Amino acid sequence: MAINWYPGHMVKAKREIAENIKLVDIVLMLLDARAPFSCRNPELEKIISRKKIIFILNKMDLASPSSTQQYQQRLQQEGYPTAAMDSSTGKGAKEVLQLIKSVYQQQAEEMLSKGRRIRSPRVMVVGVPNIGKSTFLNCLVGKKVAQTGAKPGVTRGKQWVRVREDIEFMDTPGLMWPKVEEEEQGLKLALLNIVGENAYEEYEVALYLLKTLQVKTPQIFFTRYRVEDVQLDAETMLAEIARNRGYLNKGGMPDIDKTCHLLLQDYRRGNLGRISLD
Ligand SMILES: Nc1nc2c(ncn2[C@@H]2O[C@H](COP(=O)(O)OP(=O)(O)O)[C@@H](O)[C@H]2O)c(=O)[nH]1
Ligand SMILES: [Mg+2]
């Protein structure tokens, strides 16, 4: 399966980011902590390269803590400051604000040495769809500025929202598109609910998840779905889960589509544990 995902509105999104980037000092690039490298886009990083980029590994509550640490180390080796965050609870918010201030410090000193007045850092949040941009902004700013789960692409006038620590956030986050280069990366992005659902078959993504679980956490098939032989081939496994759940068609046959949907949902909600993919 080739996931070829570059919807029309991404062209507009790219133009908007290129415009808005001029107004800020720092870009916070949100990545999914479960597969941060799959969310990246070198082309966009190049467009932004004249600004300071901070990578935020969001949804860390759903990711394997040791993987998150490793991913952060790799990004730091590339020279990027990083932090991890759970925007649904605000865990990590303090560290993010602290990081922004310390990254800005250098710029502030340069301003000072040129005899310029130091102003508050201006920050823009960017990230792929569903990564949690709106949730993140609302969480840091401490009130509802951005609509969560909203359809992207509604342009309004730029507004700045100031947080206590004297940081100004652009109220409209930038929509970023991942660069999908290989099949497995596309499957990960589909599993993470980042690519639009018309771009993939749930069945194929569920097969990918199933194989991943069999490698990383096979016991889950027993503990959650009551399947005793955790290494069954994919087809038989899906049918077993369907029967155990009572997901049957009219003819009494296992409902495979419904079972695939269940698997994906369980992964996305964290019901299968904290499983990272990159
Ligand atoms: N578990 C968890 N869910 C999150 C986190 N951040 C966002 N979400 C959820 O992810 C979904 C997409 O969030 P949203 O802010 O609308 O994403 P956006 O499209 O990037 O603006 C929503 O259901 C949020 O509740 C997080 O750190 N942890
Ligand atoms: Mg949003």
Each residue's pLDDT, cut to its tens digit, for the chain (278 residues) gives 556 666 677 788 888 898 999 999 999 999 999 999 999 999 899 999 999 999 999 999 999 999 999 999 999 999 999 999 999 999 999 999 999 999 999 889 988 999 998 899 999 999 999 999 999 999 998 766 666 654 444 445 578 888 877 899 998 899 888 888 899 999 999 999 998 888 899 999 999 999 999 999 999 999 999 999 999 999 999 999 999 999 999 899 999 999 999 999 999 999 999 999 99
Ligand 1 centroid–CA 262 distance in Å is 19
Query: Which top CATH class is 9-175?
Result: alpha beta
Please report the atom of ligand 1 found closest to the CA of residue 128.
20
* Closest to 132 in 3D by CA, of 220, 36, 245: 36
Answer whether 136's CB lies under 8 Å from 148's CB.
no
- Spatial distance between the Cα atoms of 19 and 268, rounded to a whole number of angstroms: 33
Q: Which pLDDT does position 157 carry in this prediction?
A: 59
Please report the atom of ligand 1 found closest to the CA of residue 152.
19
Q: Which pLDDT does position 114 carry in this prediction?
A: 92
Answer whether 83's CB lies under 8 Å from 36's CB.
no
- Spatial distance between the Cα atoms of 192 and 245, rounded to a whole number of angstroms: 24
Ligand 2 centroid–CA 130 distance in Å is 7
Ligand 2 centroid–CA 152 distance in Å is 6
Q: Is 61 near ligand 1, meaning CB less than 6 Å away?
A: yes
Q: Which pLDDT does position 194 carry in this prediction?
A: 93
- Spatial distance between the Cα atoms of 202 and 75, rounded to a whole number of angstroms: 31
Give CATH for domain 201-268.
1.10.1580.10
Domain segments of the chain: what residues?
9-175, 201-268
Q: Is 276 near ligand 1, meaning CB less than 6 Å away?
A: no
- Which is it for the CA torsion 49, 54, 59, 60, positive or negative? positive
Helix (H, G, I), strand (E, B) or coil at 52: strand
Ligand 2 centroid–CA 132 distance in Å is 7
Q: Is 171 near ligand 1, meaning CB less than 6 Å away?
A: no
Q: Which pLDDT does position 27 carry in this prediction?
A: 97
| Amino acid identity at 27 | V
**% of the chain with per-residue pLDDT over 70:** 92
Please report the atom of ligand 1 found closest to the CA of residue 175.
20
Q: Is 129 near ligand 1, meaning CB less than 6 Å away?
A: yes
Nearest CA to ligand 1 atom 1: 59
